[in-house]
Structures are given as structure tokens and as C-alpha cells.
Structure 1
Amino acid sequence: MNQNMDSRNEHKIRSWFKQIITVLEYIPSKLLIHRDLKPENILIASDDVLKIGDLCIATAFTNGERALTMRTDTGTELYKAPEQAMIYDQRVDIFASGLIFAELSVPMTLEDKIETFTEIRCGKEPSILATQPPTLDLVTKLTKLDRDQHPGFSEILSHPFFTD
């Protein structure tokens, strides 16, 4: 399933990713950072409603807008934001969502995924998305290496990918 471009349903991807962003906007309102966002932690119900699970390594914070944590031994390496190896905050989940969005948008083997995520972590545009300008633009914004440049949730949801 979803192993070639013809099997990708853009409407469904748009709906799913919008749900992911909506949940990521909600999680910090409960003073939590997920810290291990990855496809295996996103469940799809029979009505195409997504559920984000595995909150067992989520961390609580008390500083509202900019919670900082220093625990670095958490999360799945492939989906970790670069700053997760230092002091980080809830924006690590935005970075991970960009990687997931790239993976939703284009069929990738494990090797493709490693290469694409390495390009992103090196500050390069992922070549696998070169033929999809709106997707490439959104992935690039979500995965900025400087967490202060990550877009806010309303900016993400007003991106042309969602409005086309």
C-alpha cells in the first residue's frame, strides 16, 4: 500500500497531516512534549481519524510557551530533531512532523528515508521532493535547523499545501 506515487491520495494526505498538526497544537496546551513522534505512533481509525499514541516518553513542562528540557536519551533517532541532543522544547515535534510529512508524500525505502532525512539534517532540500514544490516548501519550513524558524501552527495550516 502507498508504495508508488499513483497510490498516494493527496486529499487523504492533506487530511491526515492536518490532523497531525492539530494534535501537535493540542499536546502543548496540556503542557506536554511528545518527543517520539514517528509513523509507528500514529494510528489510523477506520473512519480515517488519526490518533497519536505512545505518550510514555512525553514530558511535562510548566513554562507555557517555551518549555525547555535537557533529557537527551529519548525518542527514535531517525525522527529526532537536531536540538533534541541539547536543550529543546515542544518544537521538536514540529521538526519530526516535517519528516513524517515527507514520508507521507513520497514512497520511500528505508535507504531513501535515511538519505532524505540526512539531507534535511544537513540543511539541504530533500532531492526526493524536487518534483513537488508545495510539499518541498512545507517540509523545508517544518525542518529548519534553527528551531526559532519553525512555523507556528496557524502558519502551517495556512500553507498553500492545505489551501490549494
Structure 2
Amino acid sequence: TWLSDHQLKTRDYERIRVIFKQIVEAVAYIHEQLAIHRDLKPANILFDDKDQVRVCDLGIVSEFYYGDGLELTGTRTATGTPLYCSPEQARGERYNSKVDVFSLGLICIDLYVYMTKDDQKAVFNNYREEDDKKNPGIEILSLIDDTRIRDLITNMTKFEYSERPSCRKVLDEYIQ
């Protein structure tokens, strides 16, 4: 995959920003169609030789709707790849499009920081645990020089889905 072919020492951070923006734009489009991907992970993101991104594997995409007129409401089915799923997905609770935002936050970490599979599993699992005393990504995020990217990841991976930004907000406020 692109991640394994581009270890930390060879990663171009401007290139990563452009790639991540394309990924978020694709997911924002899915959300604008009132759908949730539910299985975002690096293996479901394809690149061509010009770094054009395609989000694939839409096999478990689900529709969502406006339940009370205030919130986009989804399903309770705990689908997706466990390593990249949100806390509410992992617990089988009701969720909405913010599950994709959480997954995108973890993908952003993958893009900016190289980790072994064991470290990745430990770090990502910490993001799914509710513990105010833990700041799950503090050590990993300290490896990222850009404070805007650190803030972006922190916001996208909030434990409470209601505190996560929408993909559109990510594009408008964090990624220009």
C-alpha cells in the first residue's frame, strides 16, 4: 500500500495534505448523498500514478436520515474494520456519519506517522476508550510538527461523536 511504500522518513507532508484533502472530499460527497461509508481504512483508498484518490469498497454503505430534524441518524450495525471503527460502532450503539470522521482521523494519523502494527493497534484502541485521564494520541501526535494537523486529528477522533466536525467543516476550517 502507499503507506507501507512511504515510510516516515520519505513522506512529503504537503503531498499528504493534498491526498488527505481528496479523501475527505470523497467522504463529504458520500455524506452529501445521505450515506455513510462505515468501513474507511487505508486499504479502501486507492491512488493512481498522479496521486488522484478514489475511495472504494462501498459494499456496506448505508443510508441515513434526519430523525428529529436536528441530527443525521444512522444505524446500530457494528460493521467495518475493527481497527478503524469509531467507539459507538464498536459498542453497537446508534451512530451517524461521524463514524466516518473518526475513521478519517485515524487514517490521518496513519498518513503522518509511521507505526508498527502493534503500536497502531494499541494507539487506535485507546481512542475507542472513554477515559478522561487519558489523552490517547498525545505521544503519537507529538511526532507531528504541524499544530493544525494535531488539532484536526484531536477533533476528528473525539470520543463523543457529537463533538466531531463534519467532513465539510474539516474541509472549510482545517484543510485549504
Provide the TM-score with structure 2 as the length reference. Answer: 0.83
Find the counterpart in structure 2 of residue 77 from structure 1. 82
CA distance in 2, matches of 1:31, 1:82: 21
Equivalent residue runs for 1:54-133 within 5 Å: 54-63=57-66, 66-72=72-78, 74-84=79-89, 85-122=92-129, 124-126=135-137, 127-132=139-144, 133=147
Aligned to 1:157: 171
Shift of 1:20: 1.0
Aligned AA (1:131): L
Any gaps of 5 or more consecutive residues in structure 2?
none
Q: 1:53: which partner in 2?
A: 56
CA deviation after TM superposition for structure 1 residue 158, in Å: 4.1
Q: Is the 8 A contact 1:125 1:136 kept in 2?
A: no
- Tell me which residue corresponds to 1:17: 20
Which segment drifts farther, 86-95 or 109-118? 109-118
Task: Give me the whole-angstrom Cα distance separating, in 2, the residues matched to 1:56 and 1:9.
Answer: 32
Deviations 1:78-116 (A, max 9, x none): 000011121001110000000000010011110121122
Q: Determine helix, strand or coil for the equivalent of 1:51.
A: strand
Verify the 8 A CA contact 2:28 2:168 in the aligned structure 1.
no
How many residues align? The count is 160
Q: Which residue of 2 aligns with 1:138?
A: 152
| 8 Å CA contact retained: 1:102, 1:135 | no
Alignment RMSD (CA, Å)? 1.8
Q: Which consecutive aligned stretches of 4+ in structure 1 deviate over 3 angstroms post-superposition? A: none
What is the TM-score normalised by the length of structure 1? Answer: 0.89
Q: State how far apart, in whole Å, the 2-side matches of 1:21 and 1:107 are.
A: 20
- Unmatched tracts of structure 1, length 5 or more: none
Q: SS where residue 73 of structure 2 aligns?
A: coil
The range that moved more, 99-108 or 126-135, is 126-135
Q: Is the contact between residue 143 and residue 150 of structure 1 (CA under 8 Å) also seen in structure 2? A: yes
8 Å Cα contact 2:64-2:96 kept in structure 1: no
